[in-house]
Structure formats: C-alpha cells, structure tokens
Amino acid sequence: MLPVDPVSVSSARQYASKVLARLGWERMTDVAQLVISELVTNGLRAALLLDGRAEGDDQPEKPIAEQYADCDRYLCVGLYLAPHGVVVEVWDPSPEPPKLREPGPDDISGRGLHLVNEIAACWGCRWIKPEGKVVWARLPDESVFPPPDGPGSARRER
C-alpha cells in the first residue's frame, strides 16, 4: 500500500527491483520500473481527480503541493510471476478506466499509457468491488527476456 504522494512512484520502482531480484529476473528491472512508474503515476492522478485535487481535461492545473496536501487516499501495487510472464498491477480508488490520450506536442503529460502499450505484451483494467480498479500490464515474455538458469531460477521445468 502506497500513499497518494509523488514519492510513491519511487517506492514502487524500488519494490519492483526487490521483487524481481528475489525471483531471479533482474534483467526485467528496467522495463518493470518503467511500466510500474507509469501505472502508479496514472493511479495517483486518478485518485486526486476523485477529490477534485488534480486538473482534469477541462480543469485548470493546480500547484503540486496543493494537489497532494492532506490526501488520505492510497494505491496498492503488486508484481508477480504468472504462467506467461511478469505482471505488474496497480489498484487505485477511481472507477474511471484508463484512457490512451492523444497529447499535443507541447503537453507535459498524456504519454504514459502509450509507453505501457508499446512495452507491455498486453495490459488492461478490471474493476474491484466495492470501489476502484486494477490496471495491469504483462511484461514481455521470456522469449524476449529469458530468465537466468541455475539456483533460484524462475524458469520452470516443462
């Protein structure tokens, strides 16, 4: 569980690095950290929008300190090895689905899901009761990033 705070992006990257090291998949760290950074950043924005703290497409931008001040919401982050690769998940309290936006050349945001879309093998969203959603991304499979052999290997015998 991470607070809705900009430092949570860094904490999520550190978490990804530690989990992948335990799984023996250190070679996936860079791509996992990029994907988890984008998903957590989107989760932060979604949580802030619920309280009217962040700018929406039709709202003026507020200073960062004002957006995060006294926010009591949180995100949950998960990373695990599934049968077809490493999966990153981020839960946020918003029911709104993630949207691929079309940022203009001068926009400073709106490109994160495009990165996830290009990097991940697949990604999506599922809704959680009583509230919120999980946005997930499966990282490229082991044919692109094979796991190491030897003790502690994440590779399973077939």
pLDDT value at position 107?
Answer: 66
Residue 136: closest CA among 146, 150, 122: 122
Residues 6+ apart with CB under 8 A from 20: 26, 28, 29, 32, 79, 86
Which range is least confidently modeled, 107-111, 117-121, 122-126, 152-156? 152-156
pLDDT value at position 108?
Answer: 66
pTM as predicted: 0.80
pLDDT of 118 strictly over 50: yes
pLDDT band of residue 15 (cuts 50, 70, 90) is very high
> What is the fold of 2-99+111-138?
Heat Shock Protein 90 (3.30.565)
pLDDT value at position 85?
Answer: 84
Q: Mind spelling out the 3-state secondary structure of the chain?
A: CEECCCHHHHHHHHHHHHHHHHHCCHHHHHHHHHHHHHHHHHHHHHHHHHCCCCCCCCCCCCCHHHHHCCCCCEEEEEEEEECCEEEEEEEECCCCCCCCCCCCCCCCCCCHHHHHHHHCCEEEEEECCCCCEEEEEECCCCCCCCCCCCCCCCCCCC
149 against 23, higher pLDDT = 23
Task: Give CA–CA dist 71/41, Å, rounded.
Answer: 15
The percent of residues in the chain predicted with pLDDT above 70, rounded, is 74
Q: What is the CA radius of gyration of the chain?
A: 17
